[in-house]
Every structure is written in C-alpha cells, then in structure tokens.
Amino acid sequence: MDTKVYSTEGKEVRTIELNDEVFNIEVSNGSIYYAVNNELANRRVGTACTKTRAEVNYSNAKPYKQKGTGNARMGDKKSPIRVGGGTIFGPRPRDYSYAIPKKVKRLAMKSLLTLSAKEDRLVVIEDFTSEIGKTKDVAKVVKAFVSDEKRTVLILKDDDVMLRRAAKNIPYLRILSYDKLSAKELLYGRKILMLEGAAKNLNGFFD
C-alpha cells in the first residue's frame, strides 16, 4: 500500500510504499488484548506489603489469663482480631510480570499499525531532528498535524537522544523507537506520527 509523506510543515511532498504484511493485515483483536495486558502487568511494581502477626512489633504477653474471666481464650496481643494486631491474608511483595510468545507480540504490533492506518490515525513525516534538544523544535512539528492536545505518539527511526530530550516536556506526546513499540501507546494514541525512516525500517522489521 502507498501512503503520503508530509514535510514538517504539514505539506505533502511524496509517497512511500508500506509493506502490506505489516500495515495491511487482518487485525487480530485477541493478540492486541494479550499484548496490552502483558505490558500493564509488567509495569506493576508489586511492593504492597502488610505485616502478619509474626512481624508486628507488639507485646508477646497474654492479654489476660486463660481461665476464669468468662472471655474467649486469647494467645497474645498481636492477634489479627485485635486492634494493632497482624493482618490476615494481606498483600505481600510479588512479581506480576510474565512473558507472552514473540509471535503473539509481533502480530499485535502489526495489527495495531494496520488499525492506525485504516483509521487514518497514521501520518508519515519526513525525517527530522533537533540539533540542541529544544522543545519548540518538536512542538512546532506536532502542532502541524495535531490541532488539539490529544494523545500523540511519535515513532523514531533510531534512538535520537536530542529528539527525545526535546519531546520530554510535551505532556501529551509519547516517543517510541521503531524497534521498541508499545501496544498500549499504539492502541490509545489518537495520532501516530511516524518518521519516514522508521516506516522504511518497519517494512522489513517483522520478517
């Protein structure tokens, strides 16, 4: 499939051929679901923790004698049923991350790129950079394609440090490299801006 390439000012300059095996496949909603859930799970910190009765810093003494009071037996003051006692079945530190098959992840990325192209959310821009990492350099380009401050993704052809620095202060803009795409960002991005070099790299990246 052919698509237009725009200048940084928003003017059409030429066309580029996109690989149908990447940008025009049958969308797999299932793989997208698994890829997004996987990313969200891998981001979870999992440091929530409560103290059990063995960890509470409290007295080990019996609150009252075993017999003769008319009350139920009570072992110590750290019991979970008493104020200040331990917690029963509370959260413990754990690792929520898990892996999914590479084929599923690749299918999800191709499905999301296809979806963005079919919904006219994908825009290919000629390659540009920021020499000194100024935010206004990137903001000017983004405003040429995004009228309001809606969630936007910019896909780079390489790990351009200056371009990343320049885009860091734009709150609604997410920066991705063509070889480190995010299913979550591609799914929720209202506009996908892709550098021409990134589009060429993606044509053969999933082979």
Residue 33 lies inside a defined structural domain of this protein: no
Same-domain pairing of 50 and 127: no
Tell whether 72 is covered by a domain: yes
Look at the chain and report how many structural domains it folds into: 2
Tell whether 124 and 199 lie within a shared domain. Answer: yes
Residue 191 lies in a domain: yes
DSSP string for 91-157 = -----------HHHHHHHHHHHHHHHHHTT-EEEE-----SS--HHHHHHHHHTT-SS---EEEEES
Question: And the tokens for 119?
Answer: 């919904």
The answer on 113 and 66 residing in a single domain is no
Q: Is residue 55 part of a domain?
A: yes
Domain ranges, residue 120: 2-28+100-203
- Using a CB cutoff of 8 Å and minimum separation of 24, what contacts does 7-14 make? 7/125, 7/126, 8/125, 8/126, 8/128, 8/140, 8/141, 8/144, 9/144, 10/144, 10/145, 13/126
Residue 172 lies in a domain: yes
Q: Are residues 118 and 87 located together in one domain of the fold?
A: no
Token couple for 116: 């963005």
Cα 175 to Cα 65, 117, 133, 169: the distances in Å are: 66, 18, 14, 11
What pTM was estimated for this model as a whole?
A: 0.82
Domain match, 109 and 176 both:
yes
Same domain as 198, residue 150: yes
| Pair (58, 23) in one structural domain | no
Residue 167 domain flag: yes
Residue 32's pLDDT band (boundaries 50, 70, 90)? very high
User: pLDDT (tens digit, 9 = 90+) per residue, 103-153?
Assistant: 999 999 999 999 999 998 999 999 888 888 888 888 888 888 888 888 999
Say yes or no to pLDDT of 48 above 70.
yes
Residue 57 pLDDT exceeds 80:
yes
152/87 same-domain check: no
Question: What DSSP line would sit under 18-43, residue for residue?
Answer: --HHHHSS---HHHHHHHHHHHHHHH
Q: Which of 80, 95, 110 is the last residue of a domain?
A: 95
Q: What is the pLDDT of residues 175-204, one digit of tens each?
A: 999 889 999 999 999 999 999 999 988 888
| Average pLDDT over the chain, rounded to an integer | 90
> Per the domain annotation, does 75 fall within a domain?
yes
pLDDT value at position 61? 85
Report the CATH number that the domain containing residue 143 is assigned in CATH.
3.40.1370.10
Query: Tens of pLDDT along 63-86?
Result: 889 999 999 988 888 989 888 889
Residues 54 and 145 in one domain: no
**pLDDT higher than threshold 70 for residue 17:** yes
Would you state the pLDDT for residue 207? 67
> pLDDT confidence of 100, banded at 50, 70, 90?
very high
Residues 182 and 163 placed together within one structural domain of the fold? yes
State the pLDDT at residue 174.
Answer: 92
**37 confidence band (pLDDT: 50, 70, 90):** very high
Please say if the pLDDT value at position 98 is more than 90.
Answer: yes
99 is written with which tokens?
């892996």
H/E element, 13: strand 12-17
